[in-house]
């Protein structure tokens, strides 16, 4: 029997093809985890105040900005280990500096292992230097 001891780990982020206004986030998964699953309906529990909980999961930091912007994931996944994020219209004229996932006091984690359901760990990826956490 294969024991899966860890959820997916974000390892890289690259801007999608020109004109697509997307960002591709790649995850490493444990052997036997079956790749990724995504629960787009994951939400904060009603007893948690919205200021402590973030339902977006993914956020990007754009050039010239000091504020993180929520970005949705687009189904289906590009392959078994990549999540495609839809960048906001304003991103077309800016550069994505970084992407982060599950950065909240009570994070909602929609990305999980397909087998076993363990959630992806929170991360911060700089677009030029790789993992920060």
Here the CATH number for the domain that contains residue 77 is: 2.60.40
Over residues 12-40, mean pLDDT: 89
Answer whether residue 1 is part of any domain.
no
pTM, to two decimals:
0.86
At 1 the pLDDT is 59
Which of 97, 99, 69, 65 lies closest to 82 in space, CA to CA? 99
Domain that holds residue 35: 9-131
Q: What is the mean pLDDT of residues 43-60?
A: 81
Average model confidence (pLDDT) across the chain: 85
pLDDT at 133 over 50: no
In this structure, is residue 103 part of a structural domain?
A: yes
**Does 60 map to a domain?**
yes
**Predicted confidence band at 19 (pLDDT cuts at 50, 70, 90)?**
confident
User: What is the enclosing helix (H) or strand (E) of 10?
Assistant: strand 9-15
| Residue 133 to residue 125: CA distance in whole angstroms | 8
Q: Is residue 61 part of a domain?
A: yes
Confidence of residue 128 (pLDDT cuts 50, 70, 90): low
- The answer to whether residue 20 sits within a structural domain is yes
Closest residue by Cα to residue 112 from 41, 44, 58, 36: 36
- Number of domains observed in the structure of the chain: 1
Which contiguous run of DSSP H or E holds residue 130? strand 130-131
């Amino acid at each position: 029997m294969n024991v899966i001891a860890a959820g997916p780990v974000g390892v890289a982020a690259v801007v999608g093809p020109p004109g697509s206004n997307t960002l591709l986030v790649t995850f490493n998964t444990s052997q036997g985890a079956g790749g990724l699953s995504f629960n787009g309906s994951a939400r904060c529990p009603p007893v948690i105040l919205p200021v402590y909980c973030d339902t977006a999961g993914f956020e990007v930091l754009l050039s010239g900005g000091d504020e993180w912007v929520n970005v949705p994931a687009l189904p289906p996944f590009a392959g078994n280990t990549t999540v495609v994020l839809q960048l906001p219209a304003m991103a077309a004229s800016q550069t994505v500096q970084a992407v982060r996932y599950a950065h909240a006091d009570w994070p909602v984690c929609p990305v999980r292992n397909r087998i076993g359901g363990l959630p992806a760990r929170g991360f911060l990826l700089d677009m030029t230097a790789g993992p920060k956490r």
